[in-house]
Structure 1
Amino acid sequence: MQTASTNICERLCNKSIHDISWLLNIPRSTVSGIITKWKQLGTTATQPPSGRPRHMTERGQGMLKHTVRRSHQLSAESIAKDLQTSCGLQISTTTVCRELHGMGLYG
């Protein structure tokens, strides 16, 4: 597949969106979207993801679930301390509660 800059160059050479689509064998909507993005942003690069990255990884979530299933009577504070000593994962008690609620575990 050709790069977005090729599409822009073709457009600048006064070719129609239909012609560019046919020449590069890609959908017209793709060509149109790239040209629109170029006009609005001056680049065709994608934007970085919005929001803050998650603190716990999937591995950390698995370890949290394993810890809770092993001994389900522990408090969130003791779970956070246990994760810190066993895996070096430093999370707060609020994060522990939030993650457990996200997994469907309450109480």
Structure 2
Amino acid sequence: MQTASTNICERMGRSQELSEFKHGTLIGCHLCNKSIREISLLLNIPRSTVSGIITKWKQLGTTATQP
């Protein structure tokens, strides 16, 4: 039985993706000068994921999944 306090790593399998809302929230935090560590703790997302999404946003200007 899972509790409500399980982190996103335990709930997410490799096939699931973050919602567009989470992506937008993450980018919004970045634009408000939050560090990757702060964003990770705030949204309960691994730092590597946060870093990857920010990098992708800087390079492509979007966080949408590419085909």
TM-score, normalized by the shorter chain, greater than 0.5:
yes
Which consecutive residues of structure 2, in runs of 5 or more, have no partner in the other structure?
1-17
* Correspondence 1:30 to 2:33: no
The structure whose Rg is larger is: 1
**Across the two proteins, how many residue pairs are aligned to each other?**
48
Higher relative contact order (CA 8 A, sep 6+): 2
Identity %: 75
Could you report, residue by residue, the CA deviation over 1:32-82 in whole angstroms, capped at 9, with x for unpaired residues?
Answer: 00000000000011111xxxxxxxxxxxxxxxxxxxxxxxxxxxxxxxxxx
Which consecutive residues of structure 1, in runs of 5 or more, have no partner in the other structure?
49-107
Which structure features the higher share of helix residues? 1
Match of residue 63, structure 2, among 15, 21, 44: 44
In angstroms, what is the RMSD of aligned CA positions?
Answer: 1.3
Question: TM-score, length-normalised on structure 1?
Answer: 0.43
Equivalent residue of 1:18, what SS?
A: helix
